Amino acid sequence: MTSADQPDAGANGGRFHDRTSDRREIDERYDAQRVETKWAERWQQDPALYAAETNSTKQKYYVLEMLPYPSGALHMGHVRNYSIGDALARYMWMNGYNVLHPMGWDSFGLPAENAAISANVPPRQWTLRNIANMKAQMNRLGFAYDWSREVTTCLPEYYRWNQWFFLKLWERGLAYRKKSKVNWCPKCATVLANEQVVNGCCWRHEDTPVEQRELEQWFVRTTKYAEELLRGLDHLEGWPEKVRTMQRNWIGRSEGTLVDFKLAYADEHKGFGPAGATITVFTTRVDTIFGATSIQLAPEHPIVNDLAAQNTDLRAKVDQLIAEQRKAKEAGDIGEIEKHGVSTGRYAINPYNGERIPVWVANYIVMDYGTGAIMSVPAHDERDYDFAKKYKLEIRLVILPVSNDPEETMAEPPLPFTTHNGVLINSGAFNGLMCDEAIKKMSEYAEQKGFGKATVTYRLKDWGISRQRYWGTPIPMLYCEKDGIVPVPEKDLPVILPENVEITLTGGSPLGRVPEFGKARCPKCGGPARRETDTMDTFVDSSWYFYRYTDAHNDRAPFDGKIAQYWFGDRGIDQYIGGVEHAILHLIYSRFWTRFMRDLGMITNDEPAERLFTQGMVIKEGAKMSKSLGNVVSPDEMVARYGADAARMYSLFAAPPDRDLDWQDSGIEGIQRFLGRVYRFVVRNARPSSAARSADALTPEARAIQRKMHQTIKRVSDDFQGRWHFNTCISAIMELVNVLYGAEDAIVRKAIPSGFLVEVQRHLVLLLAPFAPYLAHELWEMLGEKQSLLRAPWPKYDAELAKEEEIEIPVQINGKLRSRVTVPADADEAFVLERALADEKVKAAIAGKQIVKKIYVPGKMVNLVVR
RNA sequence: GCGAAAGUGGCGGAAUUGGCAGACGCACCAGACUUAGGAUCUGGCGGGUAAAACCGUGGGGGUUCGAGUCCCCCCUUUCGCACCA
């Protein structure tokens, strides 16, 4: 049971029994609540405690955890995320760095509006209340944030700079307005970016299929940086490979060729409408174009619309295909629907050979990739092959495989034959070329003749940022009847989000129902203008917030470039930590934004963060924590029952931080016990008066502790530098404590010099400080230390002192463990082998056999091979 | 379908470069604490055996004096992408 539930154990300061034995027992019990609230109060009274230094000569270290959405309360995922960052920040402080460790609130977004609808609380009030609550939770958990730099994105002091950036985007042609098909979530009652659509559903409503709507929207030209965003990934060695791969796939670069096919008989049939008579296809395999036996169009292709305009039967069939695609997309299994299509009855001309091939519409062609039109080469593409089989279209072989075996070279391959390792046939002037060479030559040929060119396409699309919602940054644009789209002048920023707005999920943007907001004057002509009533996607807010931390109160610019330069340098945030769920969304937008700001001359780094760490999820009984499953572990409850240190430390101990963590209450009890053990040891052995810390003539018992201590320092330090397996370095500290308990007899008989005992305890506390700051501070004080633990130097590892004097060498016979011999640590091979051969068990095992080979791995093992 | 990660005791996990498999913790068992224990301390704890032998890192092969670790094939789970032309 926790001390919190035992009023007798702490409320009276632990002194209430007369009997000495009992009193000692009670005094040694660690009352986490008492100690933690005491220190939390002290820390609160010193706002400068965790402040980053300005004009520091120290080396900078910027450690950042992704800022939370103020949903109302922290969850265990937050605790884990921030415990990692906090341990790192504290470690870097102790290593003498000028650490920037800020926190803020990603506080625009839909949940605030939902709360307004369901609970009738204004979004601003709801949000600020949640922030206050979560900030209190963070303080109770003891996270070392520099609150003087707190960023709250829903306040005008921040979002005015979103608007400022938007104007800069507009000036540079990186923001534009266009009407297009957009993703619409009916539950959010707003448009979503492509990145916010998951399996055809809304990222916030996983079972709500996204609809397509034709709307006029603001877009940010992220595609301008597509190539750079892709190439930059190659240099992000400090990012998880998984994230880099996901971004590569998302950007989806594909090299190929555009080829124009003209509709045959276009004039006679008057068969072309607004979309023209040219079908441009995109192909990565132009080398197979002599094998193209049909053109396949996406059902939503503009030319299909034209053709269907005169053909009601075709129109009906095409609508059918569109409906199928939509259904499959909503079901999330586009790859699974059966391929089928419908002939348009028209033909197009292959510009390479003048051949007329039929034009079809097929349900496996999507409009939003490439040009929405392909040439179908059944012999050399799996999908085209299936399709051609089904509709009995011609299958024409134009590539023969090449092999090292000359006999095989000219054999007909099984179809479809899709590799590049081949040579062209039936391809006119290009016969005999190898595929890759042919792709190059044939692209050049198309360009010469003016019917095509080599090109690169991307899956990445421009970022649609308009949201038909209230609780977001107003887009600073005006519509004037005379001057058209006019930006709000910089001097008029911010465009303030009005309060007291009626919020509903129907009828378009809530701001559209606020007449005094919508009415404006055109800055050009002074005439009446209408204000944009959509707001920005909240991912705009989080795309640059970490720059604002460096200069959070600047009211003349988003931040001062010189200050940002100090913290970002050329490589960005030193360590960024967050969940992998942002691998695409936030992390691609902020990479874009960083390049945009670089090109504005505000910063010099290309990437926002040099190193990225993605921590695993916190789950319970193998399932994601959720209210519906009733398996949510509340941080407040954990803090109340076990203390903040225990909750934090357990979240680091239970699994390596990059893996999912299965939360077990019994596990955190183990950590609570451990912290109690540490406390008890120091309470029993702290002798603040024993100032002598020189390691004078240590007894063997003391020497053993010293060895273990230095080994522990190494293990903990190495993990901070390298792989961040805090679970193992916490284990190492536990081992050290176990060794100390094992030495209690020696301590009692004074076999451990008291000066050394103090030194050990100091080191133990220092090692614990990044993981359990409350306990560490309490013990630090108990040891009589005056210097702040926060800036106390991290213990130095001494390889000499860590060295074992004797080591145990396993002896294997034919690879099986048979015995062990103890030898001096510096023993040479001959000595170790001699000892091994003299060992009784070894002798018995090799009796009557011949030793064929003796293997000695220095310091590790002996293996004797016998026959 | 493509790509990535993972699979080790009853459980979470350790073994960083091919070198004693199971560190540390949980759970469990036993003992101590002149009473109690949801406190604490000590010890035990992969299977197997009286003790050994022996068997054990998803399965099957291989390389090696030696494989959880390297290679080949297969199975399972999780995640990401997916008619990408």
Structure tokens at A455: 């090109």
What is the spatial distance between Cα A518 and Cα A530, in angstroms, rounded to a whole number?
5
- pLDDT tens digits along A168-177: 999 999 999 9
Structure tokens at A119: 């609970």
Q: Is the C-beta of residue A622 closer than 7 Å to nucleic acid chain B?
A: no
Does the pLDDT value for residue A9 go beyond 60?
Answer: no
Does the pLDDT value for residue A92 go beyond 80?
Answer: yes
pLDDT at A620 (0 to 100): 82
DSSP codes of every residue in A600-668: TTS---SSSBSBEEEEPPEEETTEE--TTTT-PPPHHHHHHHH-HHHHHHHHHHSS-TTS-EE--HHHH
Q: Is the C-beta of residue A728 closer than 7 Å to nucleic acid chain B?
A: yes
Please state whether the predicted TM-score (pTM) of the whole model is above 0.95. no
Name the residues in A280-319 having a C-beta closer than 7 Å to nucleic acid strand B.
Answer: 282-285, 298
Helix axes A156-171, A585-599, angle to 10 degrees: 70
pLDDT at A326 (0 to 100): 76
Does the pLDDT value for residue A86 go beyond 50?
Answer: yes
CA–CA distances in Å: residue A699 to residues A282, A694, A710, A826:
80, 13, 16, 21
Span CA (A848) to C1' (B76), Å: 48
CA–CA distances in Å: residue A747 to residues A335, A685, A691:
71, 9, 17
Name the residues in A627-656 having a C-beta closer than 7 Å to nucleic acid strand B.
Answer: 654-656
Q: Is the C-beta of residue A455 closer than 7 Å to nucleic acid chain B?
A: no
Q: Is the C-beta of residue A363 closer than 7 Å to nucleic acid chain B?
A: yes
pLDDT at A679 (0 to 100): 95
Span CA (A92) to C1' (B30), Å: 46
User: Cα(first)–Cα(last) distance of chain A, in Å?
Assistant: 61
pLDDT at A330 (0 to 100): 63
Percent of chain A topping pLDDT 90: 63
Query: For the residues A733-750, what does the mean pLDDT come to?
Result: 92
- pLDDT tens digits along A699-737: 888 999 999 999 999 999 999 987 899 999 999 999 999
State the pairing for strand pair A60-65/A98-100: parallel
Name the residues in A520-579 having a C-beta closer than 7 Å to nucleic acid strand B.
Answer: none
Span CA (A729) to C1' (B67), Å: 27
Span CA (A657) to C1' (B76), Å: 24
Supply angle C-alpha A567, A573, A577, rounded to 5.
Answer: 140
A237 φ, ψ (degrees, to nearest 5)? -65, -20
Q: Is the C-beta of residue A456 closer than 7 Å to nucleic acid chain B?
A: no
- pLDDT tens digits along A210-258: 888 888 999 999 999 999 999 999 889 889 888 998 899 899 899 999 9
Supply angle C-alpha A801, A797, A716, rounded to 5.
Answer: 120
Q: Which residue is nearest to nucleotide B2 (CA to C1')?
A: A249
DSSP codes of every residue in A51-115: PPPSS--SPEEEEEEPPPP--SS--HHHHHHHHHHHHHHHHHHHTT-EEE---EE---SHHHHHH
Q: Is the C-beta of residue A670 closer than 7 Å to nucleic acid chain B?
A: yes
- pLDDT tens digits along A536-586: 999 999 999 999 999 999 999 999 999 999 999 999 999 999 988 888 889
Q: Is the C-beta of residue A431 closer than 7 Å to nucleic acid chain B?
A: no
pLDDT at A633 (0 to 100): 87
Residues 6 or more apart in contact with residue A753 via CB below 8 angstroms: A692, A696, A697, A698, A699, A702
pLDDT at A408 (0 to 100): 54
Q: Which residue is nearest to nucleotide B54 (CA to C1')?
A: A816
Span CA (A856) to C1' (B52), Å: 27
pLDDT at A181 (0 to 100): 80
What is the spatial distance between Cα A624 and Cα A188, in angstroms, rounded to a whole number?
23
- pLDDT tens digits along A783-832: 999 999 999 999 999 999 998 888 888 999 888 888 888 888 888 889 99
Q: Is the C-beta of residue A832 closer than 7 Å to nucleic acid chain B?
A: no
Structure tokens at A481: 């009847």
Q: Is the C-beta of residue A701 closer than 7 Å to nucleic acid chain B?
A: no
Name the residues in A223-282 having a C-beta closer than 7 Å to nucleic acid strand B.
Answer: 241-242, 245-246, 249-250, 252, 254, 256, 282
CA A421 to the chain's CA centroid? 38
Q: Is the C-beta of residue A659 closer than 7 Å to nucleic acid chain B?
A: yes
Residues 6 or more apart in contact with residue A157 via CB below 8 angstroms: A553, A555
Query: For the residues A591-609, what does the mean pLDDT come to?
Result: 97
pLDDT band at A5 (very low <50, low <70, confident <90, very high): very low
Query: For the residues A352-357, what does the mean pLDDT come to?
Result: 95
Query: For the residues A270-288, what does the mean pLDDT come to?
Result: 85
Amino acid letter for position A344:
T
What is the spatial distance between Cα A13 and Cα A4, in angstroms, rounded to a whole number?
13
CB-hemisphere CA count at 13 Å for A379? 21
Q: Provide the 3-class DSSP secondary structure of residue A482.
A: coil
- pLDDT tens digits along A155-193: 999 999 999 999 999 999 999 999 888 888 888 888 888
Helix%, strand%, coil% for chain A, nearest 5:
45, 20, 40
Structure tokens at A565: 């330069």
Q: Is the C-beta of residue A327 closer than 7 Å to nucleic acid chain B?
A: no
Say how many C-beta atoms besides its own lie within 10 A of residue A270's C-beta.
Answer: 9
Does the pLDDT value for residue A3 go beyond 60?
Answer: no
Structure tokens at A255: 């090299």
The conformation of residue A254, written as its DSSP 8-state character, comes to E
Closest CA to A262 of A284, A287, A281, A290: A281
pLDDT band at A690 (very low <50, low <70, confident <90, very high): low
What is the spatial distance between Cα A413 and Cα A219, in angstroms, rounded to a whole number?
47
Q: Which residue is nearest to nucleotide B33 (CA to C1')?
A: A21
pLDDT at A849 (0 to 100): 84
Q: Is the C-beta of residue A863 closer than 7 Å to nucleic acid chain B?
A: yes
CA–CA distances in Å: residue A679 to residues A23, A371, A687, A693:
16, 68, 14, 21
Query: For the residues A64-89, what does the mean pLDDT come to?
Result: 95
Q: Which residue is nearest to nucleotide B3 (CA to C1')?
A: A245
Q: Is the C-beta of residue A745 closer than 7 Å to nucleic acid chain B?
A: no
Residues 6 or more apart in contact with residue A172 via CB below 8 angstroms: A599
Span CA (A124) to C1' (B26), Å: 45
pLDDT at A16 (0 to 100): 28
* Cβ–Cβ under 8 Å, residues A605 and A569: yes
| Low-confidence winner among A29-38, A534-543, A690-699 (lowest mean pLDDT) | A690-699
| Low-confidence winner among A20-34, A128-142, A664-678, A784-798 (lowest mean pLDDT) | A20-34
Mean pLDDT of chain A: 89
The sheet with strand A484-487 has its strands ordered as A484-487, A477-480, A528-531, A519-521
Q: Is the peptide bond before A494 cis (omega within 30 degrees of 0)?
A: yes
Query: For the residues A773-792, what does the mean pLDDT come to?
Result: 95
Q: Is the C-beta of residue A381 closer than 7 Å to nucleic acid chain B?
A: yes
What is the spatial distance between Cα A370 and Cα A809, in angstroms, rounded to a whole number?
65
- The b-or-e profile of A24-61 (16+ CB within 10 A means b, else e) is eebeeebbbbbbbeebbeebeeeeeebbbeeeeeeebb
Q: Provide the 3-class DSSP secondary structure of residue A345.
A: strand
pLDDT at A94 (0 to 100): 97
What is the spatial distance between Cα A357 and Cα A393, in angstroms, rounded to a whole number?
10
pLDDT band at A1 (very low <50, low <70, confident <90, very high): very low
- pLDDT tens digits along A747-770: 888 888 888 999 999 999 999 999
Name the residues in A39-68 having a C-beta closer than 7 Å to nucleic acid strand B.
Answer: none
Nucleotides of B under 7 A from a protein CB: 1, 3-5, 11-16, 19-21, 23-27, 38-43, 54, 65-67, 79-85
Query: For the residues A651-655, what does the mean pLDDT come to?
Result: 94
- pLDDT tens digits along A404-435: 555 555 567 778 888 888 899 999 999 999 99
CA–CA distances in Å: residue A483 to residues A164, A218, A463, A526, A848:
21, 18, 26, 10, 104
What is the spatial distance between Cα A82 and Cα A102, in angstroms, rounded to a whole number?
11
Span CA (A242) to C1' (B79), Å: 10
What is the spatial distance between Cα A323 and Cα A724, in angstroms, rounded to a whole number?
50
pLDDT at A691 (0 to 100): 56
What is the spatial distance between Cα A244 and Cα A231, in angstroms, rounded to a whole number?
11
Does the pLDDT value for residue A684 go beyond 60?
Answer: yes
pLDDT at A307 (0 to 100): 87
DSSP codes of every residue in A416-428: S---S-EEE-S-G
What is the spatial distance between Cα A190 and Cα A208, in angstroms, rounded to a whole number?
13
Closest CA to A587 of A572, A570, A569, A602: A572
Span CA (A499) to C1' (B75), Å: 60
The conformation of residue A311, written as its DSSP 8-state character, comes to -
Span CA (A672) to C1' (B38), Å: 14
Span CA (A655) to C1' (B58), Å: 21
Q: Is the C-beta of residue A676 closer than 7 Å to nucleic acid chain B?
A: yes
A333 or A49: whose pLDDT is higher? Answer: A49
Name the residues in A803-822 having a C-beta closer than 7 Å to nucleic acid strand B.
Answer: 808, 810, 812, 814-817, 820
Query: For the residues A667-677, what does the mean pLDDT come to?
Result: 94
pLDDT at A29 (0 to 100): 87
ipTM, two decimals: 0.94
Closest CA to A740 of A716, A717, A759: A759
Q: Is the C-beta of residue A825 closer than 7 Å to nucleic acid chain B?
A: no
Which segments within A639-778 are labelled E, that is strand?
661-662
What is the spatial distance between Cα A354 and Cα A371, in angstroms, rounded to a whole number?
21
* Cβ–Cβ under 8 Å, residues A760 and A695: no
Structure tokens at A85: 């960052």
Find which of A210-214, A275-279, A379-383, A602-606 is predicted with most confidence, using mean pLDDT: A602-606
pLDDT at A749 (0 to 100): 86
What is the spatial distance between Cα A479 and Cα A485, in angstroms, rounded to a whole number?
5
